[in-house]
């Protein structure tokens, strides 16, 4: 009977055991997480929502929520989970969230808002404004946190969080530490700024009690309000995007720059000190860091990268990075940034007004060819009188030159000759096809049998053939041109308009060019730029309906050689040298070699695709349309802010370098924003470069960041900041200096 009872109890015992039994007796249960407190300040964020997220895979999952009080303070009573956590401050759905204005110049028009205490019509320093609907301010904290910590959520932590979120890794504490060190080096904040709630600059008592480090943190944060006014989050997000996109750097003096932040912070500091002086309080001595910022020169900041890393991973990446450094330095591309100036020296005889005159003469000649072809077409218009034996087109070229179309030859010949008032001696002979006659046959051909333009500085020559071949029916366009030649009012004839539209809708045309050229210094003919080309481009409008290519460009073969002997060329037996196709995506295939800049011979092959081209182009056009005038720096800044996720790239490539000691070979793979490079003469990966914007990215090896790359478009180069604190800079030259060196139009 007793045994039977024990057997009956056995399932219950097992069930209790499997469930862990009484929780009070389970010594392995996780201890409760202590409450987590913090403060949100960009001016103080009052009655705002604070959401906590934990990284799950590639996304963030919400794990908590709380609200700030009127001093911007908040507490997660149930604590936060272990691991990396993201905190986001945003307005509540109730619409009661507000920001204390800590901008010296105010925070925008107040209207009838209750926050405008002095009824000035503006949210002044110390008054509260409604938190903008799109306001978001974040911080990312590590799993290992100091005892009794208080979390800061400020514009400074927002920049840091944006940087962390661009890292192409599964986030760990060491990545947060790397980001902390980066923003500390950039903005001179204290190493513990993440756990340092800054004071409310509009509260004199808080300012008096604040440490110099916390005060600096507050002034930097207030600078964003000073720059943003009624839209502080817009400025904050622009800075965050630029900072993360530059892989931890900022422009020094243009755009979202460090100089602008320093000036704004100084304005806030001056305002605070004026208020303190009015109240007979001691002014704050906090301007030194901002004065140093304003003294910084260059285009981009240069903050070293530092953090925890595996030396083996950095060594593996350097198998290729050291080779890159070797060849770039050998070519003269280094920190000096004088590569382009050095290369331009071989073209010193080109940078003058004589060259501008030569280019003008070339354009005039092209115009004369087009007009000659049109005038020749009158022979194909029914009822038109016979063409004269010669047609003078002198009004299309510079004074001193003659342009004569000989209609007695087959094909007709246009001759441009003489010495112009621009000092250009010209001898050009072009075989002309009548536009109407050529269209009727489906082929337009223009042959430059003689092409010479000389002046005191340059001697230019060119020969070649340009041909346009139509694959669609050209009768409609021929009828239109014949009618227009007889009566210009045909342009308004609905029947003729229909013929023109039908022709364009069915347009399928290929333009091809083949020829050679030379441009040399008149006083030193051996200093010549020479080249040859065989290429074509094809447009097929109906192909779009069948999801085929709208545009295809192919460089079959060719070469270009500089006066110094630097040469780029198509590979023998490999065609095409370059092929590009475009529809809603774009593809590229290329194979070429080059011998240049004292480097050993190199050969490159590559193929790739850019998908979603239509979306990318539409985004670029929309961004440029917002610019009020033509400002090269503003245009460049707009282009740099393109969403990199729209660059859907895929491709492969190879590089062979033919050293005296043997051939070095690399393989490359492009996948989205990731570029993989193999180790030399190996299929094993050396590094992966993740592009996070058009201004920078991160180099990974062994799955961890080992370097950051910052692209400096103003100096046409880049910097590589290795995680051991070293840096390498490679610049070709200043865009501003290059543009300034160009000759003005005569």
Least confident of 335-344, 474-483, 599-608: 474-483
User: Residue 642's pLDDT is what?
Assistant: 67
User: Residue 28's pLDDT is what?
Assistant: 37
Query: What contacts 584, CB < 8 A, 6 or more positions away?
Result: 611, 612, 613, 614
In this structure, are 128 and 164 located in the same domain? Answer: yes
Position 499 in a domain? no
- Judged against a pLDDT cut of 80, whether residue 697 lies above it is answered with yes
In this structure, are 291 and 310 located in the same domain? Answer: no
Query: What contacts 132, CB < 8 A, 6 or more positions away?
Result: 91, 230, 231, 232, 233
- Judged against a pLDDT cut of 90, whether residue 369 lies above it is answered with yes
Residues 640-681: tens digit of each pLDDT: 666 666 667 899 999 999 999 999 999 999 998 899 999 999
Q: Is the separation of the CB atoms in 746 and 422 below 8 Å?
A: yes
Least confident of 2-16, 301-315, 381-395, 489-503: 2-16
φ, ψ at 430 (rounded to 5°) = -125, 130
Q: Is the separation of the CB atoms in 687 and 324 below 8 Å?
A: no
**What six digits make up the tokens of 410?**
């087959």
Position 463 in a domain? no
User: Residue 613's pLDDT is what?
Assistant: 61
CA distances from 540 to 130, 326, 508, 545 (A): 55, 45, 4, 10
In this structure, are 326 and 266 located in the same domain? Answer: no
| Confidence (pTM) | 0.84
Residues 103-118: tens digit of each pLDDT: 999 999 999 999 999 9
Position 614 in a domain? yes
Residue with more model confidence, 3 or 256: 256
DSSP line for 222-251: HHHHHHHTT-HHHHHHHHHHHHHHTTS--B
Least confident of 26-40, 108-122, 443-457: 26-40
Give the C-alpha separation, 481 to 558, whole Å: 36
Least confident of 360-374, 458-472, 638-652, 661-675: 638-652
DSSP category for residue 104: T
Q: How many CB atoms lie within 10 A of CB 341?
A: 15
In this structure, are 217 and 323 located in the same domain? Answer: no
CA distances from 467 to 398, 531, 539, 558 (A): 27, 19, 14, 18
Position 382 in a domain? no
In this structure, are 45 and 133 located in the same domain? Answer: yes
Mean pLDDT (the chain, rounded): 89
SS3 assignment, position 355: helix
In this structure, are 609 and 715 located in the same domain? Answer: yes
**What six digits make up the tokens of 249?**
């750097």
- Pairing type for strands 524-540 and 508-521 reads antiparallel
**What is the mean pLDDT of the segment spanning 221-238?**
94
**What is the mean pLDDT of the segment spanning 417-446?**
94
Residues 240-270: tens digit of each pLDDT: 999 999 999 999 998 899 999 999 999 999 9
In this structure, are 254 and 313 located in the same domain? Answer: no
Position 473 in a domain? no
User: Residue 639's pLDDT is what?
Assistant: 65
Helix, strand, coil % in the chain, rounded to nearest 5: 35, 30, 35
Residue with more model confidence, 515 or 484: 515
User: Residue 744's pLDDT is what?
Assistant: 59
Query: What contacts 188, CB < 8 A, 6 or more positions away?
Result: 216, 289, 292
Q: Into how many domains does the chain fold?
A: 2
Position 718 in a domain? yes
**What is the mean pLDDT of the segment spanning 426-443?**
93
User: Residue 632's pLDDT is what?
Assistant: 63
Position 655 in a domain? yes
Task: For the chain, give the percent of residues with pLDDT over 90.
Answer: 72
Task: Identify the domain boundary among 287, 303, 319.
Answer: 303
In this structure, are 294 and 308 located in the same domain? Answer: no
User: Residue 381's pLDDT is what?
Assistant: 74
- Judged against a pLDDT cut of 80, whether residue 631 lies above it is answered with no
**What is the mean pLDDT of the segment spanning 333-344?**
92
- Judged against a pLDDT cut of 90, whether residue 583 lies above it is answered with no
In this structure, are 737 and 659 located in the same domain? Answer: yes
- The number of residues making up the chain comes to 746
Q: How many CB atoms lie within 10 A of CB 495?
A: 11
Position 650 in a domain? yes
Give the C-alpha separation, 719 to 325, whole Å: 11
User: Residue 586's pLDDT is what?
Assistant: 84
**What is the mean pLDDT of the segment spanning 49-62?**
92
**What is the mean pLDDT of the segment spanning 148-156?**
94
User: Residue 22's pLDDT is what?
Assistant: 36
Residue with more model confidence, 164 or 280: 164
In this structure, are 174 and 308 located in the same domain? Answer: no
> What's the pLDDT band for 541 if we cut at 50, 70, 90?
confident
DSSP category for residue 683: S
User: What is the extent of the structural domain holding 235?
Assistant: 36-303
Least confident of 14-18, 293-297, 571-575, 687-691: 14-18
In this structure, are 698 and 637 located in the same domain? Answer: yes
In this structure, are 95 and 84 located in the same domain? Answer: yes
């Amino acid at each position: 009977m007793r045994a039977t009872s024990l057997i009956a109890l056995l399932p219950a015992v097992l069930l209790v055991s499997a469930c862990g039994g009484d929780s009070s007796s389970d010594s392995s249960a996780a201890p409760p997480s202590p409450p987590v407190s913090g403060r949100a300040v960009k001016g103080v964020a009052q009655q705002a929502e604070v959401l906590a997220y934990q990284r799950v895979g590639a996304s963030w999952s919400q794990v908590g929520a709380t609200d700030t009080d009127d001093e911007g303070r908040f507490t997660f009573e149930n604590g936060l989970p272990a691991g990396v956590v993201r905190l986001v401050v945003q307005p509540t759905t109730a619409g009661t969230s507000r920001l204390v204005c800590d901008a010296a110049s105010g925070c925008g028009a107040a209207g009838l808002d209750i926050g405008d205490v002095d009824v000035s019509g503006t949210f002044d320093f110390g008054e509260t404004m409604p938190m903008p609907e799109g306001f978001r301010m974040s911080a990312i904290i590590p799993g290992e946190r100091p005892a009794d910590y208080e979390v800061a959520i400020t514009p400074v932590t927002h920049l840091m969080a944006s940087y962390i979120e661009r890292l192409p890794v599964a986030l760990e504490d060491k990545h947060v530490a790397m980001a902390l060190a980066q923003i500390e080096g950039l903005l001179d904040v204290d190493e513990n700024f993440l756990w340092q709630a800054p004071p409310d600059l509009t509260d004199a008592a808080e300012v008096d009690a604040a440490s110099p480090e916390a005060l600096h943190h507050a002034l930097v944060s207030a600078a964003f309000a000073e720059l943003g006014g009624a839209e502080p989050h817009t400025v904050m997000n622009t800075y965050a995007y630029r900072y993360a996109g530059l892989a931890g750097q900022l422009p020094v003096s243009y755009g979202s720059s460090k100089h602008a932040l320093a000036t704004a912070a100084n304005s806030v500091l001056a305002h605070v000190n004026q208020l303190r002086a009015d109240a007979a309080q001691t002014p704050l001595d906090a301007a030194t860091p901002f004065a140093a910022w304003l003294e910084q020169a260059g285009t981009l900041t240069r903050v070293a990268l530092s953090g925890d890393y595996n030396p083996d991973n950095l060594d593996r990446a350097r198998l290729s990075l050291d080779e890159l450094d070797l060849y770039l330095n050998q070519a003269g591309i280094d920190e000096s940034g004088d590569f382009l100036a050095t290369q331009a020296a071989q073209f010193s005889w080109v940078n003058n007004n004589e060259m501008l005159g030569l280019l003008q003469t070339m354009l005039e000649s092209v115009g004369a060819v087009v007009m000659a072809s049109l005038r020749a077409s009158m022979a194909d218009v029914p009822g038109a009188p016979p063409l004269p034996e010669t047609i003078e087109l002198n009004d299309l070229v510079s004074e001193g030159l003659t342009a004569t179309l000989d209609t007695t030859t087959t094909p007709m010949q246009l001759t441009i000759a003489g010495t112009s008032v621009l000092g250009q001696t010209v001898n050009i002979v072009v075989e002309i096809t009548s536009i109407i006659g050529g269209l009727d046959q489906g082929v337009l051909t223009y042959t430059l049998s003689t092409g010479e333009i000389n002046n005191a500085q340059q001697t230019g020559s060119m020969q070649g053939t340009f041909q346009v071949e139509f694959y669609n029916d050209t009768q409609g366009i021929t009828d239109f041109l014949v009618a227009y030649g007889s009566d210009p009012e045909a342009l308004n004839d609905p029947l003729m308009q229909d013929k023109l539209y039908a022709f364009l809708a069915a347009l399928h045309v290929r333009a091809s060019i083949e020829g050679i050229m030379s441009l040399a210094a008149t006083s030193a003919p051996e200093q010549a730029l020479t080249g040859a080309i065989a290429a074509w481009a094809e447009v097929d409008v109906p192909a779009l309906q069948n999801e085929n290519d709208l545009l295809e460009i192919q460089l079959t073969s060719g070469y270009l050689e500089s006066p110094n002997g630097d040469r780029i060329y198509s590979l023998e037996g490999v065609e095409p040298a370059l092929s590009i196709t475009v529809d809603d995506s774009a593809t590229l295939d290329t194979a070429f070699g080059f011998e240049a800049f004292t480097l050993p011979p190199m050969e490159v092959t590559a193929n790739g695709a850019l998908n979603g081209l239509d979306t990318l182009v539409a985004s670029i056009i929309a961004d440029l349309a917002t610019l009020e005038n033509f400002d090269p720096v503003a245009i460049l800044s707009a282009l740099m802010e393109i969403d990199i996720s729209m660059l859907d790239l895929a491709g492969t490539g190879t590089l062979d370098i033919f050293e005296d000691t043997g051939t070095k070979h690399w393989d490359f793979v492009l996948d989205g924003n990731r570029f993989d490079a193999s180790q030399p003469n190996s299929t094993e990966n050396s590094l992966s470069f993740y592009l996070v914007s058009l201004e920078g990215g991160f180099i990974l090896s062994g799955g961890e960041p080992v370097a950051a790359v910052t692209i400096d478009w103003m100096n046409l180069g880049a910097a590589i900041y290795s995680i051991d604190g070293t840096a390498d800079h490679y610049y070709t030259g200043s865009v501003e200096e290059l543009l300034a060196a160009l000759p003005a139009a005569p």
